[in-house]
Amino acid sequence: MAKRSSTRESMALAFELLKRIPKSRPITASELHQQLFSAGLERDIRSIQRNLEMLSEHFDIVRDDRSKPYGYSWKKNSHGFSLPQLSPQESLLLNLAEDYLSNLLPSNVISSMDGFFKEARYNLNPSKSHVKERDWLRKVRVVSETQPLLPPQIDLEVFNNVSEALFHDRLLNIEYCNAKQEKKSAMVMPLGLAQQGPRLYLVCRFDGYDNERSLAIHRIRKATASTFSFERPENFNLSQYDADGRFGFGEGEKCQLQFSITKAAGFYLLETPLSHDQQVEVRDDHFLITATVVQSKLLERWLKGFEEQVWGIKIA
């Protein structure tokens, strides 16, 4: 039975390697080792090197031995291991996912999909024939509703460790600086990751507390994933946390908001209302808006941003 198990493991390793060897560029044994590790497959580097040598003898795989470390790729005209090739539409989807979702996917998933992302970029490069799909990338854009800001610098090791702890539900030891530049150390229970504009936030519970807080990832100076796992709180829901206005510095308290706004400034509220129960009274030169919203600092800033175009604010 041990031999059969060993044979099965060898075949599984060979298959995983074949899936990850690209046609567009050579890949090294170390890169494949890292991809497999990120996907939860722990194999020593020598086993991977031996398998690559064997595979290059039996398949249309080229070993680039002009310099070390050696690189491996499928021959240019090879069809590979009869594996499904990325279609132009799948390549387009992966390109968009890499651009807009990379910070919201677990780092191990991003790492394990690196070969697919590179293949997608290769499929849509100018030398290929998929013109319409490639042009689509220049036709769509996610734009900022406020003054655009450059994203803060995030330590890659910190982000990877935060992502790993969040993915595996493990306690996380962190060192961070708050907005007052005070240095803190704590053990936290990572519960969620959210992107707000150019910033990333970790939603977590501090050890010994039963409420959630949001920490800016770029302010975390050091993060180490513990070997201890935890049970996620049954009463925590990231979507509800957002709906409660917690990312807008609110505490989930609903209020009845009423205000007057000029027609020029407030017309878009007829198209994108503040809430499902929003009511609008049309006056001669303005709208009278009534809606149930979450009371927060973000709401206050939003109202103040209209300056003299908004008046008669009532919050109950």
Give pLDDT tens digits for 172-223: 999 999 888 889 999 999 999 998 888 899 999 999 898 999 999 999 999 9
132 has a pLDDT exceeding 80? yes
User: What confidence score (pLDDT) does residue 249 get?
Assistant: 83
64 has a pLDDT exceeding 90? no
User: Which residues make up the CATH 1.10.10.10 domain(s) of the chain?
Assistant: 2-74
Locus of tokens 């809606």: 291
**Whose CA is closest to 164, among 109, 209, 203?**
109
140 has a pLDDT exceeding 90? no
Whether the predicted model's global pTM rises above the 0.85 cut? no
CATH class, domain 156-243, is: mainly beta
CA distance 100 to 64: 34
247 has a pLDDT exceeding 50? yes
5 has a pLDDT exceeding 50? no
Q: Which residue has the higher pLDDT, 68 or 10?
A: 68
CB 63 within 8 A of CB 71: yes
Strands 71-74 and 61-64: antiparallel
Q: pLDDT tens digits, residue range 15-33?
A: 788 878 887 788 999 999 9
89 has a pLDDT exceeding 90? no
Q: Which residue has the higher pLDDT, 285 or 121?
A: 285
CB 122 within 8 A of CB 85: no
Fold of 2-74: Arc Repressor Mutant, subunit A (1.10.10)
266 has a pLDDT exceeding 90? yes
User: Which residues make up the CATH 2.30.30 domain(s) of the chain?
Assistant: 156-243
User: Which residues make up the CATH 3.30.70 domain(s) of the chain?
Assistant: 246-315
User: What confidence score (pLDDT) does residue 280 get?
Assistant: 96
Query: What are 167's two structure tokens?
Result: 């993915």
284 has a pLDDT exceeding 70? yes
**Whose CA is closest to 226, among 177, 168, 183?**
168
- Say which DSSP state 152 is in: P
Q: Which residue has the higher pLDDT, 100 or 258?
A: 258
Q: Which CATH architecture has domain 246-315?
A: 2-Layer Sandwich (3.30)
- Say which DSSP state 82 is in: S
Alpha helices (H) along the chain: 2-20, 29-38, 45-58, 88-101, 107-112, 114-123, 131-136, 156-168, 238-243, 263-266, 268-271, 297-304
User: What confidence score (pLDDT) does residue 79 get?
Assistant: 59
